[in-house]
């Protein structure tokens, strides 16, 4: 590599890629190589620096960002190991705007390439420099050319092969660096050894292809190639650095995190090519200078209180500094560098550093804090629509008041969670990105906050209506000493067109029900409609008050409310009540090779496919549009993820209510009555 490198300010690198690609193992390798840990940890053995939470250890998968701040060749880097499951994509999206570059980790298996696209798409859209690290390549077999072609289909940016493997009997035993024109032989858990290049023809062809790609953005280099002039090393490395930083090309490197192979070359590429913090600040609209500007990318609540993981985009932040934020001023109660669970106390943090700030009350993920009020704001975030819902309740009533506060802290950590008190179904609902996402959230509520919880699928907001009309008298008379109670009404009940709602008509003549109690009758009708003959809220009916009588002494507001309820309870069962189920409109986003399977899935769930189009802005993806009963949507995401290697998702909106009859309706009513 060229010797013209000058030390750079601290940089932030995200490790991205699907679950199972080996990101956390790569983090362990980096930690060991840079001396951040005395020996390399093991994910499966529970000794890893990352994934140290109980929930991550239990599943052997990342459920939140892991952080490692370390030094390599006297330069500081913070590595953010982001969760691979799309269910925890929210953490990744919160980090991306603040990083300098990303390493997208993948396996050398063409069949798994679609799993990269949710990450590559966001990096490309954000113009964030990124490279591909093909992990586990020592076990790949001779398939790099085919893999690269499939990878290019998933990447909107042109791929640039930086290394080619050295094969021995079908096993990758090393690599050739096409920029350096040097060959390296892998050594387990040690630096690769420089060896001679045996296949010069393959190296020359691959290097020329790399230079051609670089020349697409450099006219001088193109002229040299056309004239058979060998470009200088400085020119080649200059182009690599410039075009990588501009997100014009995506370099591809190979290696094995398990054997620490290729990781040192990866680190050297990051050290040389990744731009300084000024580029990330510029994407956020910040001009570096003396003004302190800090953005929060993650919040943690633990045994030692709240920590806010933040990137210093400008200036030098000192402990105890007071910063302006979107919700008011906040004082920094401690600055820490993180290495897994380990916290290293600092007195200040300069531009480029990624640090944890203690006790920033009122500050949430996405907040920008600054010494200038004009710069303090909340960063817009991509909203991930919830796709899975759970109803939660405290086993002990005394814990009910604790739930809201605990969930509030949980949502501070993970804004992709949504909490609502659903008045229609009378339950507390936690919504998120999938079954595992919500299971982890519930486990945290139970283990960290000591809440004993019951969970179940969130109820479907069924309704009921009627098919026939009737006229019915409701009479309430009670005498119990002193004033009695008397209310007498005649109601006409009739169905209305679907979606009309409820209409109440006053058709009293001659004052047989005094005007001051007309509203009381309507209240009684409303009260009954909360749960009709089938047990669900009643909709799409018209109720007319046509007759009645009163007593000058015993009639009252309460008496006429009761009379209204009685009339409804006696009249509605004879109006042919029918169950209504909510129907949703779905936009299901999937890789194109799964479209036919998804159409079939929709049909098996009583849905109606409405067609599909290419997903806007997503190469190789479709959006399938469909209608489906909400009861079938409740666990749709589980099957959808199974069909799409964990990548599919959907948007949903309520469309209408439709009649539900037969065994399904009987089952819903029976379950309601048994509840």
The whole-number average pLDDT for the span 518-531 is 97
Q: What is the pLDDT of residue 521?
A: 98
Gap between the Cα atoms of 574 and 210, Å rounded: 79
Q: Check pLDDT > 70 for residue 482.
A: no
* pLDDT more than 70, % of the chain: 99
Gap between the Cα atoms of 315 and 323, Å rounded: 12
- Asked, for residue 383, whether it belongs to a domain, the answer is no
Whether 226 and 306 share a structural domain: no
Parallel, antiparallel, or unpaired for β 541-549 and 75-81?
unpaired
- Asked, for residue 4, whether it belongs to a domain, the answer is no
The whole-number average pLDDT for the span 467-488 is 90
* Residue at which a domain ends, from 275, 301, 323: 275
The whole-number average pLDDT for the span 196-215 is 94
* Residue at which a domain ends, from 378, 407, 442: 378
Q: What is the pLDDT of residue 603?
A: 97
Under the banding of pLDDT at 50, 70 and 90, the label for residue 646 is very high
Contacts of 640 (CB under 8 A, 6+ apart): 588, 590, 598, 601, 648, 649, 650
Whether 408 and 394 share a structural domain: yes
**What's phi and psi for 463, nearest 5 deg?**
-130, 170
**What is the per-residue pLDDT across 95-145, written as a single tens digit (0 to 9) for each?**
999 999 999 999 999 989 999 999 999 999 999 999 999 999 987 776 788
The whole-number average pLDDT for the span 211-220 is 96
Burial of 413 per CB tally in 10 Å (0-12, 13-18, 19+): buried
DSSP, res 379:
P
This prediction's pTM? 0.92
- Asked, for residue 54, whether it belongs to a domain, the answer is yes
Whether 220 and 346 share a structural domain: no
Gap between the Cα atoms of 594 and 615, Å rounded: 13
List strand residue ranges (DSSP E) for 384-452, in order.
388-394, 418-422, 427-432
**What is the per-residue pLDDT across 2-35, written as a single tens digit (0 to 9) for each?**
445 677 899 999 999 999 999 999 999 999 999 9
What is the DSSP annotation of 433-502?
Answer: SSHHHHHHHHHHHHHHH---EEEEEPPP--EEEESS-EEEEEEEEE--SSS-EEEEEEEEEEE--TT--E
Q: Is the dihedral of CA 281, 283, 284, 285 positive or negative?
A: positive
* Residue at which a domain ends, from 275, 296, 321: 275
Q: Check pLDDT > 60 for residue 572.
A: yes
What is the DSSP annotation of 24-90?
Answer: HHHHHHHHHHTTSSSS---TTTT--SSS-SHHHHHHTS--S-EEEEEEETTEEEEEEE---SGGGHH
The whole-number average pLDDT for the span 512-531 is 96
DSSP, collapsed to helix, strand or coil, labels residue 3 as: coil
Q: Check pLDDT > 60 for residue 265.
A: yes
Query: What is the domain extent for residue 361?
Result: 281-378
Q: What is the pLDDT of residue 100?
A: 98
Work out how many domains the chain is built from and give that number. 5
Under the banding of pLDDT at 50, 70 and 90, the label for residue 643 is very high
Q: What is the pLDDT of residue 642?
A: 96
- Asked, for residue 291, whether it belongs to a domain, the answer is yes
**What is the per-residue pLDDT across 281-324, written as a single tens digit (0 to 9) for each?**
999 999 888 899 999 999 999 877 899 999 999 999 999 999 99
Whether 135 and 267 share a structural domain: yes
List strand residue ranges (DSSP E) for 162-315, in order.
163-168, 171-177, 182-187, 190-195, 250-254, 293-302, 305-314
**What's phi and psi for 153, nearest 5 deg?**
-65, -30
Q: What is the pLDDT of residue 433?
A: 97
- Asked, for residue 210, whether it belongs to a domain, the answer is yes
Cα→Cα distances 344→36, 334, 339, 347, 354, Å: 12, 10, 8, 10, 12
Q: What is the pLDDT of residue 634?
A: 95
Under the banding of pLDDT at 50, 70 and 90, the label for residue 661 is very high
- Mean pLDDT lowest for which of 32-36, 276-280, 423-427? 423-427
Q: Check pLDDT > 80 for residue 1.
A: no
The whole-number average pLDDT for the span 597-610 is 97
Gap between the Cα atoms of 221 and 235, Å rounded: 8
Under the banding of pLDDT at 50, 70 and 90, the label for residue 363 is very high
Whether 404 and 365 share a structural domain: no
Burial of 112 per CB tally in 10 Å (0-12, 13-18, 19+): middle
Under the banding of pLDDT at 50, 70 and 90, the label for residue 50 is confident
Q: What is the pLDDT of residue 444?
A: 95
Whether 176 and 73 share a structural domain: yes
Within a 13 Å sphere around the CA of 182, how many CA atoms are in the beta-carbon half? 10
Q: What is the pLDDT of residue 2?
A: 47
Whether 303 and 348 share a structural domain: yes
**What is the per-residue pLDDT across 538-553, written as a single tens digit (0 to 9) for each?**
999 999 999 999 998 8
Q: Are residues 349 and 317 in contact, defined by beta-carbon separation less than 8 angstroms? A: yes
- Asked, for residue 253, whether it belongs to a domain, the answer is yes
Mean pLDDT of the chain: 94
Please give the order of strands across the beta sheet that includes 485-495: 470-478, 485-495, 541-549, 502-506
């Amino acid at each position: 590599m060229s010797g013209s490198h000058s030390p750079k300010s601290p940089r932030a690198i995200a490790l991205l890629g699907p679950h199972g690609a080996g990101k956390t193992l790569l983090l362990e390798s980096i930690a060991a190589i840079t001396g951040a840990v005395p020996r390399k940890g093991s994910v499966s053995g529970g000794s890893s620096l990352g994934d140290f939470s109980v929930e991550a250890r239990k599943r052997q998968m990342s459920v939140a960002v892991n952080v490692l701040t370390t030094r390599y060749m006297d330069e500081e880097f913070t590595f953010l190991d982001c969760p691979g499951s799309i269910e925890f994509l929210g953490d990744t999206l919160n980090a991306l705007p603040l990083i300098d570059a990303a390493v997208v980790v993948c396996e050398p298996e063409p069949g798994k390439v679609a799993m990269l696209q949710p990450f590559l798409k966001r990096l490309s859209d954000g113009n964030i420099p990124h490279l591909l690290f093909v992990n586990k390549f020592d076990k790949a077999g001779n398939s790099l050319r085919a893999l690269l072609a499939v990878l290019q289909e998933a990447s909107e940016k042109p791929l640039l092969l930086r290394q080619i493997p050295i094969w021995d009997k079908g096993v990758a035993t090393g690599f050739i660096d096409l920029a350096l024109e040097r060959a390296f032989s892998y050594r387990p858990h040690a630096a690769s050894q420089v060896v001679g290049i045996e296949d010069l023809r393959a190296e020359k062809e691959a290097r020329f292809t790399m230079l051609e790609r670089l020349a697409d953005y450099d006219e001088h280099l193109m002229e040299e190639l056309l004239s058979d002039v060998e470009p200088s090393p400085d020119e080649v490395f200059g182009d690599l650095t410039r075009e990588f930083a501009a997100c014009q090309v995506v370099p591809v490197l190979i290696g094995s995190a398990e054997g620490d192979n290729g990781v040192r070359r990866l680190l050297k590429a990051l050290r040389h090519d990744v731009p300084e913090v000024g580029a990330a600040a510029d994407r956020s609209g910040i001009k570096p200078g003396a003004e302190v500007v800090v953005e929060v990318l993650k919040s943690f609540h633990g045994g030692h209180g709240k920590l806010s993981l933040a990137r210093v985009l400008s200036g030098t932040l000192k402990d105890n500094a007071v910063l302006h934020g979107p919700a008011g001023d906040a004082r920094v109660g401690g600055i820490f560098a993180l290495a897994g669970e380990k916290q290293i106390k600092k007195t200040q943090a300069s531009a480029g550093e990624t640090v944890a700030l203690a006790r920033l009350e009122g500050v949430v993920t996405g907040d920008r804090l600054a010494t200038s009020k004009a710069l303090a704001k909340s960063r817009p975030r991509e909203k991930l629509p919830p796709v899975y819902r759970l109803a939660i309740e405290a086993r002990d009533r005394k814990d009910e008041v604790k739930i809201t506060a605990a969930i509030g802290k949980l949502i501070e950590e993970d804004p992709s969670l949504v909490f609502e008190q659903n008045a229609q179904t009378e339950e507390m609902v936690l919504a998120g990105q999938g079954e595992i996402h919500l299971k982890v959230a519930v486990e945290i509520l139970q283990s960290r906050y000591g809440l004993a919880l019951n969970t179940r699928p969130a109820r479907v907001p069924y309704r009921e209506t009627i098919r026939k009309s009737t006229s019915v008298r409701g009479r309430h008379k009670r005498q119990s000493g002193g004033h009695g109670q008397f209310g007498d009404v005649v109601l006409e009940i009739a169905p209305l067109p679907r979606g009309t709602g409820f209409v109440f008509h006053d058709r009293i003549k001659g004052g047989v029900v005094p005007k001051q109690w007309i509203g009381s009758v309507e209240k009684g009708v409303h009260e009954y409609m909360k749960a009709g003959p089938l047990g669900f809220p009643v909709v799409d009916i018209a109720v007319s008050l046509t007759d009645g009588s009163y007593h000058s002494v015993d009639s009252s507001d309460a008496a006429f409310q009761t009379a209204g309820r009685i009339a409804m309870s006696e009249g509605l069962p004879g109006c042919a009540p029918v169950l209504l189920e909510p129907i949703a409109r779905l936009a299901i986003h999937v890789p194109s090779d799964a479209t036919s399977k998804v159409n079939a899935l929709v049909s098996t769930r009583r849905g109606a496919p409405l067609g599909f189009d290419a997903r806007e802005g997503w190469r190789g993806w479709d959006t399938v549009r469909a209608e489906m009963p909400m009861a079938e949507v409740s666990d749709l995401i589980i099957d959808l993820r199974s069909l799409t290697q964990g990548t599919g998702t959907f948007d949903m909106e309520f469309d209408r209510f439709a009649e539900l009859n037969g065994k399904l309706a009987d089952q819903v009513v029976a379950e309601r009555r048994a509840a």
